Structure 1
Amino acid sequence: MTTAVAHTVALDAVRSLAGPGGHLMPSAALSTLAGVSAGDWARFAAHWDELTLDTYMADGGTYRYRRYGQFELDAQGELTLLPHAPYRQESEINPLNGGIERFLDPLTDSFAGDPVLRSVLVELGRIFTAVDGTRNWNVKLHPYRINASADEQGQPAPEGRHRDGVTFITSLMINRTNVTGGESGVYTDEGDHLLTTTLSEPGDLLLGDDRRTLHSVTPVQPADPDLAGHRDVLVIAYTAR
């Protein structure tokens, strides 16, 4: 039964990405596909406590913590962690923070080797190969913590509605603590709305064909203004080799 369900989960994603270009995969579906339990998600979330301040925010914000790293994923489903390097987007893609090399802290060894991460990356690669025909991928990983307080709201997508200049883009919910907002939207190039969702459960996943769609996320604020809050996500970008 689990194998049949996993096949259906993957097929639904393939159809949506090959069609409109956006797809929401609820936590239960991804957990079945990747063989991840609720306890696994909770353990995996601890890596987000090791993120460091992003000092490259052109809006002056101090709300974003992150790390960065990249893998190669080959046709056999083998992942190879690449040497750490600066992250760069051109300003045409990211008008806020693009046009420079950003020397971000690398992924920790424990994060890069985590079995939850590796299972998710391989299963997503299979979905994207089924859509695109590409068998080898560059996979860039962006674990983010967006903090929110009474003094500063958090901006998960400070550049507004955008694309990332890759082949497929995903946003994986890890945890939400004392925050409201954070509504994700996916749109066509012409601005037509494809879907809107608020990722809320650990393992909720939003997927998009970055060549044909734009995406955005609304700001987050603390639900209880007397306490700080945060939104933890893993953005994963697949670029065809």
Structure 2
Amino acid sequence: MRATSEQRTGVEPLTHAREAVGRDGACVVPGDEVMRSLGVDDQGWAGFAGHWDDLRPDPYAARSGTQRLRRYGRFVVSPEGRREPAPVEEFRQPGDSNRLFLDEGRVFDPLTEELLADPVLDGLLELLGGIAGVLDDPPRWVVHVHPFRVLGSADSRGDATPEGRHQDGVTLVSSLLVGRENATGGTSEVVDADGREILTTTLAEPATLLVGDDRRTWHGVDPIRPVDPRAPARRDVLVVTFMPEEAR
């Protein structure tokens, strides 16, 4: 359950995260801090994580042998955090930001009504909008929402980013760990334009949040593999990006 605005004392939104992204280009926010900011308890988080059991196969990632499931949603969000649904068009990244798909339009199943109605999603968009406001101040943001599940096995790669180190062609990029099971690897790396490391982290605890200024950083995640080879490795994340509406 999402707490009221009076209870959510952490939402002004994570001052140190705003400062770190503006200064360094990226930062990691611990899961317990994100949970407090969202006003979510373990039961509420478990309900949110349950939406990842209703994703659909990603046929584009499958070309490179990656077993990935996902959905996709698109919104226009005001600076006050008001969310308006936008037509779900094909998802397209600039050709110079993602060399694997080279400006290819990709079509994915839309977000479920249950996920759209989950108050955790609204809280997260509010939190991220506050961080994005350090980087730009457009009249409205276009927000792309991508729930992902990546699976790895003893004989297949669990590539979260089969395109390798890349940009998303947006202003703010974020990755929220929803859950992982029987997985080793999955280390996230963020570097600057010259390839110098800004941070390296393995998102291990649920609700841990990685945020970055996509205009001046590149990011990638190494593959996951199962700890117990008799069962698949699983890594569930929510990737949310912000860009000015006029730049869409």
Query: What TM bracket, shorter-length normalisation?
Result: over 0.9
| Count of aligned residue pairs for this structure pair | 240
2:189 aligned with 1:175, yes or no? no
**Take 2:88 and 2:207, find their aligned partners in 1: how far apart are those partners?**
26
**Take 1:232 and 1:135, find their aligned partners in 2: how far apart are those partners?**
32
The alignment's TM-score, normalised by the length of structure 1, stands at 0.94
What residue in structure 2 maps to residue 151 of structure 1?
155
Structure 2: segments with no counterpart, 5+ residues: 1-5
CA deviation string 1:176-217 (max 9, x = no partner): 011100001111111111111110111000000000111111
Match for residue 45 of structure 1 among 46, 49, 61: 49
The answer (yes or no) to whether the contact 2:61–2:67 under 8 Å persists in 1 is no
Match for residue 215 of structure 1 among 204, 212, 219: 219
What residue in structure 2 maps to residue 77 of structure 1?
81
**Take 1:20 and 1:75, find their aligned partners in 2: how far apart are those partners?**
23
The answer (yes or no) to whether the contact 2:186–2:224 under 8 Å persists in 1 is yes
The answer (yes or no) to whether the contact 1:2–1:32 under 8 Å persists in 2 is no
Worse-superposed segment, 72-81 or 178-187: 72-81
- In percent, how many aligned pairs have the same letter? 41
What residue in structure 2 maps to residue 61 of structure 1?
65
User: How do 1:97-176 and structure 2 match up within 5 A?
Assistant: 97-176=101-180
The answer (yes or no) to whether the contact 1:189–1:214 under 8 Å persists in 2 is yes
What residue in structure 1 maps to residue 3 of structure 2?
none
Deviation of 1:57 after TM superposition, in Å, equals 2.4
| SS of the residue 2:24 aligns to | coil
Deviation of 1:91 after TM superposition, in Å, equals 2.6
Structure 1: segments with no counterpart, 5+ residues: none
Deviation of 1:130 after TM superposition, in Å, equals 3.5
- Across the aligned residues of Structure 1 and Structure 2, the Cα RMSD in angstroms comes to 1.7
The answer (yes or no) to whether the contact 2:132–2:171 under 8 Å persists in 1 is no
Q: After the TM superposition, which segments of 4 or more aligned residues of structure 1 sit over 3 Å from their partners?
A: 1-7
Match for residue 26 of structure 1 among 27, 30, 50: 30
Deviation of 1:2 after TM superposition, in Å, equals 6.5
The alignment's TM-score, normalised by the length of structure 2, stands at 0.91
